[in-house]
Structure 1
């Protein structure tokens, strides 16, 4: 049965001038995942990712560890994350002073992001991309991936929000499920889907087999 392995990008550069690039640890997380799959004898017939830098770099790191060629990597912009910065800005414009100040804990930032996503999902705030448009492009790219998966095993590299939306759509869960799932997905975590005649089904969610043992547990991250 055709299989799809959706991987969230490695740790990005939170707090830097350019979030959209992997940190040194993010590169290592990606290589470790590729090495884990190489040791298990795993291979992929198709590799796709969004066109954000952190997606491409994660795919490169996985392929480096796996010993795979990236020449066949296909970029699908529909796999990109929603623009969380604009969503946050729109929420702040409606709620002045809500944003955490300099030096605030990441937990404070994610608390406000969760509130902003909820406001965005119910139409209380408006960003460049609407919630409905986000839903539609993820539905579109799932169709593209499922069609390709009929020819084998597919590796997908994307972001937490996009993967959460995939899971919500496959399970038929309510919209607020995306918000809850998004906050749980670890960097380079793997969600495993099967593609059958009745559509896509979820086999496992948010696994980090390459990090979930011994001293590597300290390298599990969420941003």
Structure 2
């Protein structure tokens, strides 16, 4: 049966001028995942990613760990994250009192993003794309991935919000579950799906076997 392994990108550069690039730890997380799969004898027939910088770099790091440096990676922009900065800006214009103060803790920004996502999904604010457009493109890319698997094993690199939307659609969960799932997904976490005649089904969610060890648990991140 066709299998799809969807990986959230490695740790990005939170707080820097270019969030979209991987941090040094993000690169290491990606290489560790590739090395883990190489040691386990895992192979992939197709490798696909979004076209954001953090997606490309994560795919490259995984391929380096797998011993596949220079491997061709197909890019699908439908796998890109929603524009969370735009969503947060739209929410802040309607709720300026909720904006985290300068120098606030990272957790404060996560709480603000959660509120913004809830307002976006409820239609209270409009981002760069509507919630319905986000749903539609994730539904579209799930169909593309399922059709392209063709009995093989596909590795996909995407982002937390997009992965959360995939899981919501597959499980038929309510819209608010996207926000809850998005906040849980670890950097370079793997979610495993099967694609069959009846559609795509979820086998496992948010696993980090390459990090969930006594020596590496301190390197588990969420941004």
TM-score range, shorter-chain basis?
over 0.9
Aligned to 2:161: 161
Quote the Cα distance in structure 1 between the aligned partners of 2:42 and 2:2. Answer: 14
Partner SS, residue 202 of structure 1:
strand
Q: CA deviation at 1:197?
A: 1.2
CA contact (8 A) 2:82 2:161 kept: yes
Q: CA deviation at 1:103?
A: 1.5
Aligned to 1:132: 132
Q: CA deviation at 1:57?
A: 0.1
Gaps of 5+ in 2: none
Q: Tell me the TM-score normalised to structure 1 length.
A: 0.98
CA contact (8 A) 2:4 2:192 kept: yes
Partner SS, residue 167 of structure 1:
helix
Aligned length: 223
Is 2:73 aligned against 1:73?
yes
- For residues 105 and 89 of structure 1, do their structure 2 counterparts lie closer, same or farther at Cα, with a shift above 3 Å needed? same
Q: CA deviation at 1:94?
A: 0.3
Quote the Cα distance in structure 2 between the aligned partners of 1:187 and 1:151. Answer: 27
Aligned to 2:181: 181
Q: CA deviation at 1:69?
A: 4.5
Aligned to 1:12: 12
Partner SS, residue 215 of structure 1:
coil
Q: CA deviation at 1:171?
A: 0.5
Q: CA deviation at 1:99?
A: 1.3
Quote the Cα distance in structure 2 between the aligned partners of 1:210 and 1:178. Answer: 25
CA contact (8 A) 1:150 1:195 kept: no
Quote the Cα distance in structure 2 between the aligned partners of 1:70 and 1:117. Answer: 37
Gaps of 5+ in 1: none
Could you list the structure 1 runs, at least 4 aligned residues long, displaced by more than 3 angstroms after superposition: none
Quote the Cα distance in structure 2 between the aligned partners of 1:204 and 1:215. Answer: 24
Deviation per residue, 1:97-129 (Å, 9 max, x gap)? 311122111111000100000000011011120
CA contact (8 A) 2:164 2:182 kept: yes
Quote the Cα distance in structure 1 between the aligned partners of 2:54 and 2:141. Answer: 19
Partner SS, residue 194 of structure 1:
strand
Quote the Cα distance in structure 2 between the aligned partners of 1:99 and 1:41. Answer: 47
Aligned to 1:24: 24
